[in-house]
Amino acid sequence: MLDAFRAVRDSLVDAVRITPWWLATYSVLQLLLAILPGAQVVLIRHLIESSDLWRPLLGLTVVVGSMYPLTQVSNGVGQRMMLRLRLALRVELAGGAARLSPSRLAEPEVVRDLEASQTATHPMADVAGKSVQLLSAAATSVVLCVAISAINLLSGLLVLAALVPTVLAFTLISRMEATGWPRVAEHDRKAAYATEQLIQQRPGTELAVLGSGWKVAGLVANSRAAATRVLDRMIRTAVLYELGAALVTVLLFGGALVALVRGGAAGGAAAAAVAGTITGLNGIRQCGYAFGSIVTTAPQAAIYRRFCSRTQAEPAISAPTRRTAAGSACVQIRSGVPAAPRRAVVRRVDSVALDNVTYAYPGAGEPTLRGVCIEARRGELVALVGVNGAGKSTAINLLVGSLRPAGGRVLIDGTDAAEVSEEERLAHFGLLVQEFGRFEFTLRDAVALGAPGAVADREVRAALGGTFAADLPLDTQLGQQWGGTGISGGQWQRLALARIRLRDAGIWILDEPTSAIDAEAEQSIFSELRRTSAARITIVVSHRAWTLREMDRIYVVDEGRVVQQGTYQNLIAQPEGRFARLFAAQ
């Protein structure tokens, strides 16, 4: 319940901050709508009991006539207010997600919260409106209670008491939904994931070739059936709660009518009170719905707020980057999304090292890295080699700071990297990971992502030099799903490399940078790396022997330890060594 109050408070604060005029207009309209049923009761009584026919008749015409247009206008205003709130929440969430550092992204809880927050923005945007509706419906009941109490006190109180079963039922339903919906969402996500595997080009083709797509279709069916079972149970229970509440409500309204008759109300008073109690039923249902949806949304809203307050603790963000008149290129931002971190890329770094580093993944019994020492200096090309699972990617993640060593130090220019912020540390690196991004934006935007700030078209062009995209217009849309150019796996990897080139940080870390690239292009990429290596540190993970010949030093990692180091010639000359056994056949 405390969560519900917090959700109401936070969302009203948001509405006051983001859309004060729409909130004020909506509140006034809802207040008017709350008063009208009470006024109706008073006017009906006057119409029947007083000798003055015209004034109550005129009043009733105004009250009844204005109800429908006021409701319509109020709905429209409420929707526009909620639309603005939804936009603000989604923009805030995207900004928060953009601030997440690699180490945050490595926390499963943060990723779970981000996913849950995404689905929360829709119901959350409605909470401010629902709060106003709740107050309005409650005010309707109070006004009716007062109007009917003037005729018969017990009837008035019974009308007000009729709020209780409905609100109680919707609270119970909402509590049940708060646990049920996440389970439905989990099954739905699994079903959506499995469906994606069937329809996306690469896994879909693989499954079609294997002829085993029907097994994945079976997984879809299982997940959907599980979701339906949970939904079924929820609906059944909700109907039972609603029926129970409706029964008690009818008894209370019946009691109100009996109290009217037994209290001696007759004629105009009785007719007015009956009309009032009927209108009251509607108000009470609205109250229940509004209250229920606030209680349901509250846990999601709490996750959203937790996520946003966490990301606000991340480093500050400066003004958005925009395309300037001079033609600098970057993602165009129209609605206040923060885009450019203050950090500038560090271009000159003299040395980087893992100094006796040990690391164990949470929950893993044995350390993945044990006492690893690796060093690279400016101008050097250094390689990490080893079998799958040896610990090369772990070593890289420790270098860039997305993992923190359990023992030992990471040194950048001789300084313990733990002493600088993650933001500052990341500014030293250009990292090409194995699962590089396939950003289906325009060619310009996909490459400009390499640098945090605004990027000129000529820089994008320079980064693309020598690739398949060198002569493509920068406005070319990438990705067939958007009606754009289809790009092969190797071409995507060239674009990822172009981002690293554009970034031009002091340390380049390339985890299998040519895994998807043809032999000819691979040769030209490695010769260029050698040719341009003087001004930076280059660390490469590679499984191909010939790419290692040019390296200044090779570290052979095996079961989390560096078991050999040296040049290609030194290492291959030791036939019993791990390196020679790994690469002799190549």
Ligand X SMILES: Nc1ncnc2c1ncn2[C@@H]1O[C@H](COP(=O)(O)OP(=O)(O)OP(=O)(O)O)[C@@H](O)[C@H]1O
Residues that bind ligand X in the complex, under the rule CB under 6 A? 361, 364, 368, 386, 388-394
Closest to ligand X by CB, 159 or 541: 541
Per-residue CA distances from 221 to 61, 187, 208, 225 (Å) = 56, 10, 18, 6
The Cβ of residue 385 has, within 10 Å, a number of other Cβ atoms equal to: 26
Closest to ligand X by CB, 275 or 433: 433
Smallest gap from residue 516 Cβ to ligand X (A): 14
Closest to ligand X by CB, 118 or 393: 393
Query: DSSP label at 91?
Result: H
Closest to ligand X by CB, 193 or 361: 361
Smallest gap from residue 370 Cβ to ligand X (A): 12
Smallest gap from residue 232 Cβ to ligand X (A): 37
Contact 383, 540 (CB under 8 A): yes
Smallest gap from residue 435 Cβ to ligand X (A): 10
The encoded tokens of residue 501 equal 């080139």
Closest to ligand X by CB, 331 or 509: 509
Measured distance CA(130)–CA(291) in Å, rounded: 7
Smallest gap from residue 438 Cβ to ligand X (A): 19
Question: Which candidate, 32, 23, 33, 25, places its Cα nearest to that of 131?
Answer: 23
Contact 447, 330 (CB under 8 A): no
Measured distance CA(122)–CA(84) in Å, rounded: 11
Q: Side-chain half-sphere of 72: how many Cα atoms within 13 Å? A: 4
Q: Starting from the edge strand earliest in sequence, which strands make up the sheet with 553-558, in order?
A: 429-432, 507-511, 537-541, 381-385, 553-558, 561-566
Closest to ligand X by CB, 30 or 542: 542
Smallest gap from residue 556 Cβ to ligand X (A): 11
Residue 407's DSSP bridge partners are: 358
Measured distance CA(95)–CA(311) in Å, rounded: 9
Measured distance CA(373)–CA(86) in Å, rounded: 50
Measured distance CA(170)–CA(251) in Å, rounded: 18
Contact 555, 384 (CB under 8 A): yes
Closest to ligand X by CB, 388 or 569: 388
Smallest gap from residue 399 Cβ to ligand X (A): 12
Q: Which residues contact 91 (CB under 8 A, 6 or more apart)?
A: 335, 336, 337
Measured distance CA(256)–CA(258) in Å, rounded: 6
Closest to ligand X by CB, 171 or 394: 394
Smallest gap from residue 501 Cβ to ligand X (A): 23
Contact 7, 299 (CB under 8 A): no
Question: Which candidate, 249, 258, 327, places its Cα nearest to that of 281?
Answer: 249
Closest to ligand X by CB, 384 or 463: 384
Smallest gap from residue 560 Cβ to ligand X (A): 7
Closest to ligand X by CB, 211 or 365: 365
Smallest gap from residue 513 Cβ to ligand X (A): 13
* φ, ψ at 132 (rounded to 5°): -65, -40
Closest to ligand X by CB, 388 or 586: 388
Give the per-residue SS3 of 223-264: HHHHHHHHHHHHHHHHHHHHHHHHHHHHHHHHHHHHHHHHCC
Smallest gap from residue 296 Cβ to ligand X (A): 34
